[in-house]
Chains A and B, each alone.
Chain A
């Protein structure tokens, strides 16, 4: 079954109502009209008849001449709408007639006319044609005749009713006139009804269109097109207008919410991406660390195998060669001894570094004057410097109080001076200076009061690309390797120690001219009278 839209329903309903009402009103008005027409017709015919009677009573009564009577009824018949006229006297005989029909019979009995001398009845002739018939009595009284004359005609006066006149009105003519009127009325009503239905269609359409549009917009919105709005009806000042405005408001809110959600969503995506990146980076870093560890292990293994190889080789050679020259034998034993030392130094340096790096090292922090430690290191290395003809000068003037692990700081200073001694050629110069500084160094450059230790030599210098690498574990320049003395860990350990004290270590160098190694320690100015204590006088601190 086909679905009926609201417009169709509204139009259909109003059509029903309009048709019903229109038909009722039309029928009512037609019946009223017919009544009026009938009334008008009866009044007219009655008046005509009355006038005719009044004008002609005397002649009718006095004249027995049928010619005169024929003429008189002929006059009456000529009046509008009158089909026949019959004149009868009181006794019944017909005196004159005109236009009479064959076989006239009474169809509906008489009803009283407008006065008691007149009666209306309905007639039918032999052909089936129908008539309204007015019977009006004719009497001397009530005529225009003077009473004298009445007295004069005593006979007449004594019998006031002379007879009656019957006037027939053609009912077909009357009815057809009424039918035309009814047709016009019905046609007008029909036109008006159609007009009303048309108008109701227009109104319904105007009311319903926004609702239809709203339905379509709702479909669009449901399909995801949130920018859809109802374009029609939002200016209506009624419930539909309210509905349209509320609908559009709702759609706007939906759209805004969606946009907000999208924004949030994209923000979320961005966050997830960022987090993923972070995790990936962390993962990469972990992998790098893992790789570093594995590289370190393989380097350590390599570094340990090297002295071990010499020890094993020379020991076996010594065992298998009973006839070696005494000098050679001694030399080989010496190599075994040196390589054993190198190996044990390597192992202790590795353990030391591992301890510091893992945080397991204990630090014996004390207040002391850095000058003492520097002087001690210089004193330890003085013999080997002198052996190589190297001048070692220590420039210390004012006290440099620091809070540090004195043994480890001495390790750093010894390492730096020792490197100088190692790399300077005969006749070289090494100078150690202690100065105040206002920042930790070139890397982080933390402001504050620092003591800076500078160890300057006029050795071969370090190439720019090697300046950072010299602090790496096991990094040894070509020259260093051939000297076979270091573990390759000295500067790496020194850096760990200095960093632990919140200082910095770095170097300046010009190849061919020399190198300067620097490190800083925070200055610990004595509060009141803090005495510089000798290293080892305080307990170890974790």
Chain B
């Protein structure tokens, strides 16, 4: 059974590009366009990894991160924050919310691919 990756972003093109990279490496892809969707899918599907945007409608990435990390059932999901917010304090906030890794946009699909293999294989 392939490892599952939940990709969350409200920008359709970015969602599609990340999804494409994940799928091309042979992992299962789950997509969410807002925070509520992301939480719902994470709880229902318990993915191995999450690639999470911060600025999203309904519920932002930090809130999603906090909720998942405070719930024992979902605490194990490895969360990579992928955001266009590139300031130092944004990064610190993400780590405070329990994110495991922080990546800024624009990102390199090549590096992402490498990280996926390191984390999931």
Contact = CB atoms under 8 A, between A and B. Distances in A.
A336 B57 CA distance: 24
B20 interface: yes
Contacts of B40: none
Contacts of B11: 306, 309-310, 484
Contacts of B20: 317
Interface string A473-502: 000001001101000000000000000000
Interface in B56-114: 57, 84-87, 104-110
A302 B12 contact: no
Contacts of A310: 11, 13-14, 17
B13 A339 contact: yes
A311 interface: yes
Contacts of A313: 14, 17-18, 21, 106-107, 109
A321 interface: yes
Q: Looking at chain B, what size class is its interface with the partner chain? A: 20 to 34
Given A317-B17, A317-B20, A482-B12, A309 B107 contact: yes
Contacts of A305: 84, 86, 104-106
Given A310-B14, A335-B13, A484-B13, A302 B109 contact: no
Given A301-B84, A306-B84, A309-B105, A316 B13 contact: no
A302 B110 contact: no
B106 A484 contact: no
With a 10 A CB-CB cut-off, give which of B10, B11, B21 has the most chain A CB atoms. B11
Contacts of B87: 298
A314 interface: yes
B105 A301 contact: no
Interface residues of A, number: 22
A320 interface: yes
A302 B84 contact: yes
Nearest to B17: A313
B105 to A, nearest CB: 4
Interface in A325-355: 335, 339
Nearest to A318: B109
Contacts of B110: 316, 320
A308 interface: yes
A117 interface: no
Interface of A: 298, 301-302, 305-306, 308-314, 316-317, 320-321, 335, 339, 478, 481-482, 484
4 nearest A-B pairs in the assembled complex, by CB-CB distance: A305-B84, A312-B106, A313-B17, A309-B105
6 contacts: A309-B14, A309-B105, A335-B13, A482-B33, A484-B12, A484-B13
